[in-house]
Amino acid sequence: MDVDFGGVVNAVPGLRHEAGPCTEHVESDAAQRQRVENLLAGENRLLQMVASGYPLSSVLASLCRFVEEAAPECICGTYLIDWSVPAFKKGAAPSLPGTFLDAVEGLPVRTELCPCGVAALEKRQVIAEDLASDPLWRDTPYRGLLLSHGLESVWSTPILALSGRVLGTFAIYHRHPATPSTRVQELIAQVTHIASIAIERAEDEAALQRSEAFLAQGQHLSSTGSFAWRVDTDDITFSEELHRIFEFDRDDRVTLEQVTSRIHPDDLSLFAEQLDAARRTGKDLDNELRLRLPDNSVKFLRTIAHASQDQHGRVEYIGAVQDVTARRLSEQALERARSELAHVARVTTMGALTASIAHEVNQPLSGIVTNASTCLRMLAADSPDIEGARETARRTIRDANRASEVVARLRALFAKKELAMEPVDVNEVTREVIALSASALQRHRVVLHQDFTDDLPIVVADRIQLQQVILNLLLNAADAMKEVDDRTRRLSISTGRGDHDHVRLAVQDVGVGLDPQSVDKVFDAFYTTKTGGMGIGLSVSRSIIERHQGRLWAEPNDGPGATFVFSIPLDPAGVANAAPVKRNG
């Protein structure tokens, strides 16, 4: 007979209950205590297995054995459900032959097929006390399967998640017709609860593993690793991909020393500087560094990290590191090609320009030479042709004027544009230039220090031309440090008030510095120390500053490198007119 025990069997956690053989009988107090202790110990053992991450199948098998020991004559089976089919999946039935479990695997979850189907779909316990006589299952292949394994009774209970989702079913079989006692019902409630914990945990773990696998795959595909860095203890955690990028052994514990040992020697001072800044300020990190690996190969890494504080004020950086070597190398190749191209273009335009200047000048020169020769010959003849000589001399003068017109036209061609004067905040335009050149400076691995005087007066200047000068000074400074590898490529830019209502800006580098003899030559047009340089940047810069009634000069540093300074009056018009200088802000 099918006995319904009231539908859903709710799992009750942490039950201290009694269970025993399937048939009730009187037991002594001592035996009862012993039994309860055994049950508790068994439950603890199962929960421990779950907590320590035993495979689900062995937890479920132990769970079956636990019930079989607590209630002799019971034979247990636990089945999982693949709801996408839906069909039963193997769980565990340690006391039944493998052929039985094999037969359950893939069995559709349907109410008319077996008691477990009803339990799963209707979320209620199903008791089939005597399969042989139960009309409900008479025509099912399931009945034949059970009977062929000598099983005559089955009680099937759904295993429910907290959310009410059916995770599987728990079945107890007997080799004779049987019904569950209250104790056994309590035992069933206890183990289905443990089973639901075990199954949910296994599902969570699988989902976590899947998500970790996704993450690892994503990190691998994008060559991006992640890290955590505790600033006070220097505890460092690297993701698997970051281990790979740094070519550390997967199982190595990463230390700051190990990381430092991988940093390219030329970038060590930059790295130390950035670590120091991070420790002091806790500001976000965004930098690019190179690694030198044991095989001497070089990698370019882009790092972005954000610091957060726990409640004790301890700072931890969490960040991502991307291997941008391939991109950098192609950028470098591109840049080489581009500068090569620019050089060729410059050479050819210069060539074309020179040729056209030569042509323009040679035409009148040719006239001059021919006319002068004719003139001489006319005068040298036996009867000098004075009138003819006068005419050729006139033409000579005219051709010479033509030549000088050509030169004047050339000068007009290179003539400077008018200044567009407006009120300008030197700090602001400098910040704009820095923002514009940030990536170029970063590429040169330059560490920029800014020292702006806050209440700087507004000047009247040509904003764009002033920015050209500042940009030129910045890039020159970065260029001058291109070969510097034994010290930080420190570039300091400062603004301040100068004497006589002037504003000054200084750009200091620690680069190759200036030869005392060439301090002034650097401002000459076409003087350059750079292979790619035209040598007009500083000369143009100086003429711009001078047109602002200011001064641009260079001075050697006490240490390595040079400082370029310009100083401009608040109002150039005021200076030019010798009128009192107006203060604009």
Binding site for another protein (CB under 8 A): 355, 358-359, 362-371, 373-374, 377-378, 381, 388, 391-392, 395, 398-399, 402
Between 350 and 573, whose beta carbon lies closer to another protein? 350
Minimum CB–partner distance for residue 406 and another protein (Å): 11
Q: How far is the CB of 404 from another protein (least distance, A)?
A: 14
Residue with tokens 């840049």: 335
**β-sheet with 315-323: strand ranges across:** 236-238, 224-230, 315-323, 298-309, 285-292
CB of 389 to another protein, least distance (A): 10
Q: Give the Å distances, CA to CA, from 31 to 18, 28, 35, 72, 316.
A: 11, 5, 6, 15, 57
* Nearest Cα residue to 2 out of 142, 128, 124: 128
If the CB atoms of residues 196 and 374 are measured against another protein, the closer one turns out to be: 374
Torsion (CA) 481, 482, 485, 490 in degrees, nearest 10: 30
- Long-range pairs for 251-257: beta carbons < 8 A, 24 or more residues apart: none
Phi, psi of 24 (to 5 degrees): -65, 140
In the complex with another protein, the residue whose CB is nearer, 208 or 397, is: 397
Q: Measured from the CB of residue 534, what is the shortest distance to another protein in angstroms?
A: 23
- Pick the closer one to another protein by CB: 402 or 431: 402
What is the pairing mode between strands 490-498 and 447-451?
Answer: parallel
Is the distance from CB of 433 to CB of 478 less than 8 angstroms?
A: no
Closest contact distance (angstroms) between CB of 527 and another protein is: 26
Instruction: Closer to another protein by CB, 87 or 357: give it.
Output: 357
Question: What is the DSSP code (8-state) at residue 7?
Answer: S
Query: Can you name the residues that pair with 321 across neighbouring β-strands?
Result: 225, 303
Nearer to another protein, 182 or 362 (CB): 362
> What's the rounded Cα separation, in Å, for the pair 549 and 508?
23
In the bound state with another protein, the residue whose beta carbon lies nearer, of 21 and 388, is 388
Min dist CB 353 to another protein, Å, is 13
Residue closer to another protein, measured from CB, 154 or 368: 368
In angstroms, the CA 108 to CA 85 distance is 8
- For residue 225, the 8-state DSSP code is E
The distance of closest approach from Cβ of residue 355 to another protein in the complex, given in angstroms and rounded to an integer, is: 6
Distance CA 268, CA 266 (A): 6
Residue 360 CB, nearest approach to another protein (Å):
8
